Amino acid sequence: MKVLVTGGSGFLGLEICRQLTARGIATSSLNRRPSAALEHLGVPQHLGDLADASAVSRAVAGCDAVIHNAALAGVSGPMRLYRATNVVGTRNVIAQCRAHQVSTLVHTSTASVAFRPGGLEGVSEDLPLPPGHLAAYPQAKATAEALVLAAHSPQLATVSLRPHIIWGPGDPHFAPALARAVRAGRLLMPGDGSNLVDTTHLRTAAHAHLLALDHLQRSPGAGGRAYFISQDDPRPLREIAHHFLRAAGINAPWCSVPPHLATAAAAVSDTYLSMVRSSRTLALSRFLVAELLQPHYFDLTAARRDLSFEPPIGFEAGIAELTRTALSTSDDCKDTPCPKPTTPSVPS
């Protein structure tokens, strides 16, 4: 089997490529820029943009399966930014899978497609998606997921996975975002952090993609549906934030911003950014504040039943690994400066 991973140079995409190559599966990647990590793995790279149908065609040609992981993520910004990659790009992937007789398509969606005011408490995939979303990112991903599931057919078996808050060694997303939120030694966050939130370790998310690939290879007719993926270990957001910060060597007490003030500030920010036609994807927004204030965790019964899913690593073991990795990186940087982290995007 030959598998193409879109976005194989990214945080999750690279781990998917690692796990595929560890199985001995011929793996290639479609990414916009060359990746030294993929080169080290021996993964051939097709350079191009998802919005370019010809680039997608060249990458898909000769493959038996595609794991469509690439996406633009964020908590703010106009729909036009997200549509080009997340919607047009997904349409191109589906069209080229059909054109090149690819039999299997696994799509990386996000649990945020189901998020709504009031949060999500132990919900399953039977919960209908909300009629509207608080930001363009989850709206675009919901559209992309619908396209993938509607494409399921005897010729192209599809599945969409909904991981949530992906983290682990090398995390360019939440740990850096939390570190930026620390001011004067305090973590400034809306609410008291008691809302229960589930997360997904990097290896767990990648493992689920390989299970979905196996599932569609065994039972092509059993696709056409979405699955929530997480550690199945919801914890108070305050606890999760402190674990991530301590792993990075930061000890900052939680400093609660009154929810009504945070919500009002986010509404003003959304209005202003829309008025000036801002392209910022990581600005203060109602979507971000709502996710920080409200619960979001899921019922994984369907993933366990259909995909034989179980997290391969627990939350505590993952945090211990994250801490060891951070300490090792810190030791490596004692004599020579380490590169500064890139600007993080916001994951699923």
Q: Enumerate the active-site residues.
A: 137
C-alpha closest to that of 105 among 226, 204, 21: 226
Nearby residues of 283 by Cβ (< 8 Å), 6 or more positions away: 75, 76, 77, 269, 273
3-state secondary structure of 170: coil
Integer Cα distance of 202 and 190 in angstroms: 26
* Phi, psi dihedral angles at 134 (to 5 degrees): -80, -10
The one-letter code for the residue type at 104 is T
Integer Cα distance of 197 and 183 in angstroms: 23
Q: Label residue 199 left, alpha or beta by phi (over 0 means left) and psi (-120 to 50 means alpha).
A: beta
Integer Cα distance of 280 and 345 in angstroms: 11
3-state secondary structure of 89: helix
Q: What's the half-sphere exposure (Cβ side, CA atoms, 13 Å) at 143?
A: 19
Q: Are strands 65-68 and 104-108 parallel, antiparallel or unpaired?
A: parallel
Integer Cα distance of 118 and 127 in angstroms: 14
The label of the residue with tokens 């408490």 reads 121
Which tokens is 182 given?
A: 């620390």
Which tokens is 24 given?
A: 């001995």
Ordered alpha helix ranges (H), the chain: 11-22, 36-41, 53-60, 79-82, 89-99, 136-150, 174-181, 202-218, 237-247, 259-275, 286-293, 301-307, 315-332
